[in-house]
Structure 1
Amino acid sequence: MCGCISKRRPRKMSEQSLSFKRLNRRQWLVGAGAAALGLALFGLSPRANAEVRPLDAPRVAGTVGERYDGYAVTRGTVTPDITALVDKVNAERKALYAERAKTQGVSILDIGKIYAAEIIKSAPAGTWFLSESGQWAQK
């Protein structure tokens, strides 16, 4: 037999291939969680552009910003109503992040950072974002 034809049998799926499939499944679950965050916390729907989400007005006004870890934060002097709204949203987010972190086997901070990326995408123009280094940037 010439050297141009391999004598090896087809390999069974290796453990490396299996771990790759698990990684893709995990990524899919995290992505699905991010979508759920948008639906649950921001009231997104197919007609999201027509809806007003609770934090949109304070975000555009600059009194509420978003942090790198997936939580909202007040900026400057705000009314007690805005503070209560931010506290409520953050409590809901924390519960969701904790649930996702437990099912994924990662830290709450890691989940929060993943959700923060989705929040940045869906936030209205004019929203302020606080980076991990403490710098503010406006969308």
Structure 2
Amino acid sequence: MLLKTQSSSPRPAFLLALRAPLFLFAMVCAVLLASGQSAVADPLDAPREAGLVGERYDGYAEIRDSAAPADVAALVRSINRQRRDYYDQLAKKENVSPAEVGKLYANKIFQSAPRGYWFKDQSGQWKRKF
């Protein structure tokens, strides 16, 4: 008769330390995916396509062209307020910082964006998605 025994080799401590943050990251990603975009067009689509508006690494939109009409600037401010409120709400629910949620959302925006949209990286450089 064979007996099953536990392995005597302990797991490396760094693997155990990584487990909680990875789980948290996975949970936040799952919530973001579950709250996905509806089939309705995003109000920023036209300004993005025109190159007037881009997305930043932190999950917020930004005017790229100083000649952008006032209504586009107002739209960006409104969208960013909505995003900030959403990031705050989700951050409290998941016990993470709003900045972490914003960065995850920025990645989601980038992944789903079509070619030609502009994105600003952490160094402040605008890059076009190809």
Determine if the TM-score, normalized by the shorter chain, exceeds 0.5. yes
3-state SS of paired residue (1:65): strand
**In 1, Cα distance between equivalents of 2:4 and 2:30:** 40
Gaps of 5+ in 1: 46-50
**Equivalent in the alignment of 1:58:** 47
Tell me whether 1:78 sits opposite 2:78 in the alignment.
no
Structure 1 residues 5-20: aligned runs within 5 Å: 9-10=5-6, 20=19
**In 2, Cα distance between equivalents of 1:100 and 1:60:** 29
**In 2, Cα distance between equivalents of 1:99 and 1:35:** 16
**In 1, Cα distance between equivalents of 2:88 and 2:34:** 14
Please identify, of 25-34 and 60-69, the stretch whose mean Cα deviation from structure 2 is larger. 25-34
**Equivalent in the alignment of 1:115:** 105
Q: Which amino acid aligns with 1:87?
A: R
The size of the alignment, in residue pairs, is 121
Q: Which amino acid aligns with 1:127?
A: Y
Report the TM-score, using the length of structure 2 for normalisation: 0.77
3-state SS of paired residue (2:89): helix
**In 2, Cα distance between equivalents of 1:107 and 1:24:** 15
After superposition, the Cα gap between the structure-2 partners of 1:37 and 1:86, relative to the gap in structure 1 and judged at 3 Å, is farther
Gaps of 5+ in 2: 8-14
Tell me whether 1:126 sits opposite 2:116 in the alignment.
yes
RMSD over aligned Cα atoms: 2.8
Q: Select the residue among 71, 82, 103 that pairs with 2:93.
A: 103
